[in-house]
Protein backbone atom coordinates (compact mmCIF):
# COMPACT_ATOMS: atom_id res chain seq x y z
CA UNK A 1 0.00 0.00 0.00
CA UNK A 2 1.34 3.42 -1.06
CA UNK A 3 0.03 6.26 1.12
CA UNK A 4 0.42 8.85 -1.65
CA UNK A 5 -1.43 6.65 -4.13
CA UNK A 6 -4.16 5.98 -1.57
CA UNK A 7 -4.59 9.72 -0.97
CA UNK A 8 -4.71 10.41 -4.71
CA UNK A 9 -7.30 7.73 -5.40
CA UNK A 10 -9.41 8.65 -2.36
CA UNK A 11 -9.58 12.37 -3.23
CA UNK A 12 -10.14 11.68 -6.94
CA UNK A 13 -12.97 9.26 -6.24
CA UNK A 14 -14.65 11.64 -3.77
CA UNK A 15 -14.37 14.55 -6.24
CA UNK A 16 -15.92 12.44 -8.99
CA UNK A 17 -18.88 11.68 -6.75
CA UNK A 18 -19.92 15.30 -6.15
CA UNK A 19 -21.86 16.86 -9.04
CA UNK A 20 -22.00 20.63 -9.69
CA UNK A 21 -25.67 20.55 -8.67
CA UNK A 22 -24.70 18.94 -5.34
CA UNK A 23 -22.29 21.81 -4.73
CA UNK A 24 -24.70 24.54 -5.91
CA UNK A 25 -22.63 25.29 -9.01
CA UNK A 26 -23.76 25.65 -12.64
CA UNK A 27 -23.11 22.51 -14.66
CA UNK A 28 -22.07 24.34 -17.81
CA UNK A 29 -21.28 22.44 -20.97
CA UNK A 30 -18.47 20.27 -22.31
CA UNK A 31 -17.66 18.76 -18.92
CA UNK A 32 -15.10 16.00 -19.25
CA UNK A 33 -15.18 14.78 -15.65
CA UNK A 34 -18.03 12.95 -13.88
CA UNK A 35 -17.99 15.25 -10.87
CA UNK A 36 -16.37 18.51 -9.88
CA UNK A 37 -13.35 19.97 -11.61
CA UNK A 38 -10.21 20.54 -9.57
CA UNK A 39 -10.75 24.28 -9.91
CA UNK A 40 -14.23 23.94 -8.45
CA UNK A 41 -13.01 21.96 -5.45
CA UNK A 42 -10.26 24.54 -4.91
CA UNK A 43 -12.81 27.37 -5.00
CA UNK A 44 -15.15 25.61 -2.59
CA UNK A 45 -12.24 24.83 -0.22
CA UNK A 46 -10.86 28.38 -0.50
CA UNK A 47 -7.44 27.37 -1.78
CA UNK A 48 -5.52 27.79 -5.01
CA UNK A 49 -5.93 25.31 -7.83
CA UNK A 50 -2.21 24.60 -7.67
CA UNK A 51 -2.39 23.78 -3.98
CA UNK A 52 -5.38 21.48 -4.39
CA UNK A 53 -3.67 19.75 -7.33
CA UNK A 54 -0.72 19.09 -5.03
CA UNK A 55 -3.04 17.52 -2.46
CA UNK A 56 -4.76 15.36 -5.05
CA UNK A 57 -1.39 14.11 -6.25
CA UNK A 58 -1.13 12.52 -2.82
CA UNK A 59 0.97 15.05 -0.93
CA UNK A 60 -0.73 15.67 2.42
CA UNK A 61 2.50 16.21 4.36
CA UNK A 62 2.33 19.37 6.42
CA UNK A 63 -1.34 20.09 5.66
CA UNK A 64 -3.07 21.74 8.62
CA UNK A 65 -6.28 20.54 10.22
CA UNK A 66 -8.23 23.66 9.11
CA UNK A 67 -7.25 22.97 5.50
CA UNK A 68 -8.36 19.35 5.84
CA UNK A 69 -11.68 20.56 7.30
CA UNK A 70 -12.20 22.89 4.34
CA UNK A 71 -11.40 20.10 1.93
CA UNK A 72 -13.79 17.72 3.72
CA UNK A 73 -16.59 20.28 3.43
CA UNK A 74 -15.88 20.94 -0.25
CA UNK A 75 -15.97 17.22 -1.06
CA UNK A 76 -19.03 16.70 1.18
CA UNK A 77 -17.36 13.90 3.11
CA UNK A 78 -19.38 12.08 5.74
CA UNK A 79 -17.96 11.56 9.22
CA UNK A 80 -16.25 8.26 8.37
CA UNK A 81 -14.67 9.74 5.22
CA UNK A 82 -13.58 12.86 7.10
CA UNK A 83 -11.91 10.70 9.77
CA UNK A 84 -10.23 8.66 7.05
CA UNK A 85 -8.87 11.83 5.39
CA UNK A 86 -7.40 12.94 8.72
CA UNK A 87 -5.91 9.47 9.27
CA UNK A 88 -4.27 9.61 5.84
CA UNK A 89 -2.86 13.06 6.59
CA UNK A 90 -1.54 12.06 10.01
CA UNK A 91 0.05 8.97 8.48
CA UNK A 92 1.65 11.10 5.76
CA UNK A 93 3.23 13.26 8.46
CA UNK A 94 4.81 10.30 10.23
CA UNK A 95 8.12 8.95 9.05
CA UNK A 96 7.44 5.99 6.77
CA UNK A 97 9.55 2.84 7.20
CA UNK A 98 11.52 1.67 4.21
CA UNK A 99 9.51 -1.56 4.18
CA UNK A 100 6.27 -2.80 5.75
CA UNK A 101 6.70 -3.25 9.50
CA UNK A 102 6.65 -6.78 10.83
CA UNK A 103 5.12 -7.38 14.23
CA UNK A 104 6.68 -9.43 16.98
CA UNK A 105 6.34 -13.17 17.19
CA UNK A 106 4.82 -13.27 20.69
CA UNK A 107 1.28 -14.62 20.76
CA UNK A 108 -1.33 -12.21 22.05
CA UNK A 109 -3.53 -13.68 24.76
CA UNK A 110 -6.51 -11.93 26.31
CA UNK A 111 -5.83 -10.72 29.83
CA UNK A 112 -7.73 -12.81 32.39
CA UNK A 113 -9.89 -9.81 33.29
CA UNK A 114 -10.75 -9.23 29.62
CA UNK A 115 -11.62 -12.89 29.06
CA UNK A 116 -13.71 -12.82 32.24
CA UNK A 117 -15.57 -9.79 30.89
CA UNK A 118 -16.28 -11.66 27.66
CA UNK A 119 -17.43 -14.75 29.55
CA UNK A 120 -19.76 -12.58 31.65
CA UNK A 121 -21.76 -11.87 28.48
CA UNK A 122 -24.10 -14.86 28.30
CA UNK A 123 -27.07 -13.58 26.29
CA UNK A 124 -25.22 -13.08 23.02
CA UNK A 125 -21.97 -13.52 21.11
CA UNK A 126 -19.13 -11.24 22.24
CA UNK A 127 -15.70 -11.09 20.65
CA UNK A 128 -12.54 -9.00 20.30
CA UNK A 129 -11.01 -8.27 16.93
CA UNK A 130 -8.24 -6.11 15.50
CA UNK A 131 -8.39 -3.79 12.48
CA UNK A 132 -7.40 -6.64 10.16
CA UNK A 133 -10.58 -8.50 11.18
CA UNK A 134 -8.76 -11.27 13.09
CA UNK A 135 -10.96 -12.75 15.83
CA UNK A 136 -8.64 -12.73 18.85
CA UNK A 137 -10.90 -13.69 21.76
CA UNK A 138 -14.57 -14.49 22.38
CA UNK A 139 -17.05 -15.87 24.84
CA UNK A 140 -18.32 -19.42 24.37
CA UNK A 141 -21.39 -18.22 22.46
CA UNK A 142 -19.12 -16.11 20.24
CA UNK A 143 -17.05 -19.12 19.18
CA UNK A 144 -20.23 -21.10 18.55
CA UNK A 145 -21.71 -18.22 16.56
CA UNK A 146 -18.64 -18.12 14.30
CA UNK A 147 -18.46 -21.89 13.88
CA UNK A 148 -18.41 -21.58 10.07
CA UNK A 149 -15.54 -19.10 10.26
CA UNK A 150 -13.54 -21.38 12.54
CA UNK A 151 -14.15 -24.51 10.47
CA UNK A 152 -12.24 -23.21 7.47
CA UNK A 153 -9.60 -21.24 9.38
CA UNK A 154 -5.98 -22.20 9.63
CA UNK A 155 -4.37 -20.21 12.41
CA UNK A 156 -6.14 -17.04 13.48
CA UNK A 157 -9.75 -16.89 12.24
CA UNK A 158 -10.16 -13.85 9.99
CA UNK A 159 -13.53 -12.44 8.94
CA UNK A 160 -12.16 -10.90 5.74
CA UNK A 161 -10.68 -14.19 4.50
CA UNK A 162 -13.91 -15.96 5.43
CA UNK A 163 -16.06 -13.43 3.57
CA UNK A 164 -14.10 -13.43 0.32
CA UNK A 165 -12.31 -16.78 0.18
CA UNK A 166 -14.90 -19.13 1.70
CA UNK A 167 -17.86 -17.76 -0.23
CA UNK A 168 -19.89 -20.98 -0.07
CA UNK A 169 -20.19 -20.68 3.71
CA UNK A 170 -20.02 -16.88 3.84
CA UNK A 171 -22.97 -16.40 1.48
CA UNK A 172 -25.01 -18.71 3.69
CA UNK A 173 -23.89 -17.06 6.92
CA UNK A 174 -24.50 -13.53 5.59
CA UNK A 175 -27.92 -13.45 3.84
CA UNK A 176 -26.98 -9.97 2.54
CA UNK A 177 -23.48 -10.95 1.48
CA UNK A 178 -22.89 -7.79 -0.57
CA UNK A 179 -23.49 -5.57 2.45
CA UNK A 180 -21.26 -7.74 4.62
CA UNK A 181 -18.51 -7.61 1.99
CA UNK A 182 -18.80 -3.82 1.74
CA UNK A 183 -18.48 -3.47 5.51
CA UNK A 184 -15.42 -5.73 5.71
CA UNK A 185 -13.57 -3.77 3.02
CA UNK A 186 -14.57 -0.44 4.57
CA UNK A 187 -13.10 -1.54 7.91
CA UNK A 188 -9.86 -2.68 6.25
CA UNK A 189 -9.66 0.64 4.36
CA UNK A 190 -9.94 2.57 7.61
CA UNK A 191 -7.17 0.42 9.12
CA UNK A 192 -4.99 1.00 6.06
CA UNK A 193 -5.39 4.75 6.55
CA UNK A 194 -4.36 4.45 10.18
CA UNK A 195 -1.47 2.04 9.68
CA UNK A 196 -0.50 1.42 6.04
CA UNK A 197 2.90 0.02 7.06
CA UNK A 198 1.55 -3.02 8.92
CA UNK A 199 3.05 -6.10 7.24
CA UNK A 200 0.11 -8.29 8.27
CA UNK A 201 -2.33 -5.88 6.65
CA UNK A 202 -0.15 -5.70 3.53
CA UNK A 203 -0.16 -9.47 3.25
CA UNK A 204 -3.91 -9.76 3.83
CA UNK A 205 -4.84 -7.12 1.26
CA UNK A 206 -2.41 -8.63 -1.25
CA UNK A 207 -3.82 -12.12 -0.73
CA UNK A 208 -7.44 -11.01 -1.06
CA UNK A 209 -6.72 -8.78 -4.07
CA UNK A 210 -5.02 -11.67 -5.84
CA UNK A 211 -7.65 -14.28 -5.06
CA UNK A 212 -10.92 -12.34 -5.12
CA UNK A 213 -12.24 -10.09 -7.87
CA UNK A 214 -15.06 -9.02 -5.54
CA UNK A 215 -12.53 -7.80 -2.99
CA UNK A 216 -10.30 -6.15 -5.57
CA UNK A 217 -13.20 -4.14 -7.01
CA UNK A 218 -14.35 -2.96 -3.60
CA UNK A 219 -10.83 -2.13 -2.46
CA UNK A 220 -10.37 0.10 -5.49
CA UNK A 221 -13.51 2.09 -4.63
CA UNK A 222 -11.87 3.53 -1.44
CA UNK A 223 -15.17 3.49 0.44
CA UNK A 224 -15.06 3.77 4.23
CA UNK A 225 -17.70 3.73 6.92
CA UNK A 226 -18.06 3.67 10.68
CA UNK A 227 -19.26 0.39 12.09
CA UNK A 228 -20.17 1.07 15.68
CA UNK A 229 -23.77 -0.06 16.01
CA UNK A 230 -26.70 -1.36 14.00
CA UNK A 231 -28.59 -4.51 13.11
CA UNK A 232 -27.48 -7.45 10.98
CA UNK A 233 -29.03 -10.61 9.68
CA UNK A 234 -27.25 -13.97 9.84
CA UNK A 235 -28.03 -17.59 9.04
CA UNK A 236 -26.35 -20.01 11.40
CA UNK A 237 -25.97 -23.59 10.16
CA UNK A 238 -27.28 -25.01 13.47
CA UNK A 239 -30.06 -22.66 14.61
CA UNK A 240 -31.11 -20.87 11.41
CA UNK A 241 -31.90 -17.18 10.86
CA UNK A 242 -30.82 -14.57 13.41
CA UNK A 243 -31.60 -10.87 13.49
CA UNK A 244 -29.13 -9.30 15.92
CA UNK A 245 -28.29 -5.81 17.11
CA UNK A 246 -24.61 -5.05 17.62
CA UNK A 247 -22.59 -2.55 19.61
CA UNK A 248 -18.89 -2.07 18.96
CA UNK A 249 -16.44 -0.18 21.14
CA UNK A 250 -12.72 0.49 21.19
CA UNK A 251 -10.82 -1.10 24.07
CA UNK A 252 -9.00 1.68 25.90
CA UNK A 253 -6.58 -0.73 27.54
CA UNK A 254 -5.81 -2.48 24.23
CA UNK A 255 -5.24 0.21 21.55
CA UNK A 256 -6.14 -1.04 18.10
CA UNK A 257 -8.60 -3.66 19.35
CA UNK A 258 -12.38 -3.46 19.52
CA UNK A 259 -15.09 -5.38 21.36
CA UNK A 260 -18.36 -6.29 19.64
CA UNK A 261 -21.44 -7.66 21.36
CA UNK A 262 -24.49 -9.05 19.56
CA UNK A 263 -27.91 -9.19 21.21
CA UNK A 264 -31.40 -10.24 20.15
CA UNK A 265 -34.62 -8.39 20.83
CA UNK A 266 -36.34 -9.67 23.95
CA UNK A 267 -39.07 -12.17 23.18
CA UNK A 268 -38.05 -12.57 19.55
CA UNK A 269 -37.40 -15.75 17.60
CA UNK A 270 -33.75 -14.72 17.42
CA UNK A 271 -33.51 -14.61 21.21
CA UNK A 272 -34.85 -18.17 21.40
CA UNK A 273 -32.41 -19.28 18.72
CA UNK A 274 -29.51 -17.75 20.64
CA UNK A 275 -30.58 -19.84 23.62
CA UNK A 276 -30.56 -22.91 21.39
CA UNK A 277 -27.11 -21.95 20.14
CA UNK A 278 -25.87 -21.63 23.72
CA UNK A 279 -27.25 -25.11 24.49
CA UNK A 280 -25.58 -26.51 21.41
CA UNK A 281 -22.28 -24.86 22.35
CA UNK A 282 -22.48 -26.36 25.84
CA UNK A 283 -23.19 -29.80 24.41
CA UNK A 284 -20.14 -29.51 22.18
CA UNK A 285 -17.96 -28.66 25.19
CA UNK A 286 -16.82 -25.33 23.75
CA UNK A 287 -14.36 -23.90 26.28
CA UNK A 288 -13.06 -21.65 23.53
CA UNK A 289 -11.28 -22.38 20.30
CA UNK A 290 -7.94 -24.11 20.92
CA UNK A 291 -6.85 -23.70 17.30
CA UNK A 292 -6.84 -19.91 17.58
CA UNK A 293 -3.40 -18.34 17.21
CA UNK A 294 -4.12 -14.70 18.09
CA UNK A 295 -2.58 -11.70 16.38
CA UNK A 296 0.98 -11.18 17.56
CA UNK A 297 1.49 -7.87 19.36
CA UNK A 298 -1.79 -6.31 18.21
CA UNK A 299 -1.16 -2.99 19.96
CA UNK A 300 1.92 -2.06 17.94
CA UNK A 301 0.63 0.94 16.08
CA UNK A 302 0.33 4.62 16.77
CA UNK A 303 -3.23 5.84 17.10
CA UNK A 304 -3.66 9.29 15.58
pLDDT at 302 over 50: no
Q: ∠ at Cα 63 (250, 16), nearest 5°?
A: 80
3-state secondary structure of 68: helix
User: Nearest Cα to 187, choosing from 167, 173, 208, 213?
Assistant: 208
Question: Phi and psi dihedrals of 278, rounded to 5?
Answer: -65, -40
Mean pLDDT of 106-114: 84
pLDDT at 251 over 70: yes
Confidence band of 1 (pLDDT split at 50, 70, 90):
low
Contact 80, 224 (CB under 8 A): yes
What is the tens place of the pLDDT at every residue in 3-37? Answer: 899 999 999 999 999 999 999 998 877 787 779 99
Q: Alpha-carbon distance 229 to 260, whole Å?
A: 9
Confidence band of 225 (pLDDT split at 50, 70, 90):
confident
First to last CA, the chain: 19
DSSP 8-state assignment for residue 18: -
pLDDT at 258 over 60: yes
- Burial class of 300 by CB neighbour count within 10 A (0 to 12, 13 to 18, 19+): middle
3-state secondary structure of 283: helix
DSSP 8-state assignment for residue 263: E
Q: Alpha-carbon distance 298 to 107, whole Å?
A: 9
- Burial class of 18 by CB neighbour count within 10 A (0 to 12, 13 to 18, 19+): buried
Mean pLDDT of 161-170: 96
What is the tens place of the pLDDT at every residue in 56-98? Answer: 999 998 999 999 999 999 999 999 999 999 999 998 887 555 4
Maximal CA-CA distance, the chain: 69
Alpha carbon 245 to its chain centroid, in Å, reads 18
**pLDDT value at residue 86:** 95
In the chain, what percentage of residues exceed pLDDT 70?
89
**To 10 degrees, the CA torsion angle through 103, 108, 114, 115?**
150
pLDDT at 165 over 60: yes
- More confident of the two residues 31 and 122: 122
Contact 83, 103 (CB under 8 A): no
Amino acid sequence: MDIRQDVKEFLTSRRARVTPADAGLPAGSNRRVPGLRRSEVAMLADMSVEYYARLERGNLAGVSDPVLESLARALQLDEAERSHLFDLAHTANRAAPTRPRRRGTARWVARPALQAALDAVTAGPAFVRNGRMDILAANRLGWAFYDDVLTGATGTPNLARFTFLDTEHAERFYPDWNLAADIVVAILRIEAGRDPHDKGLHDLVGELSTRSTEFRTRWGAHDVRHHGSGTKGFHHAVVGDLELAYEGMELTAEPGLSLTIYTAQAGSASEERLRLLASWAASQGWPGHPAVVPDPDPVERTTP
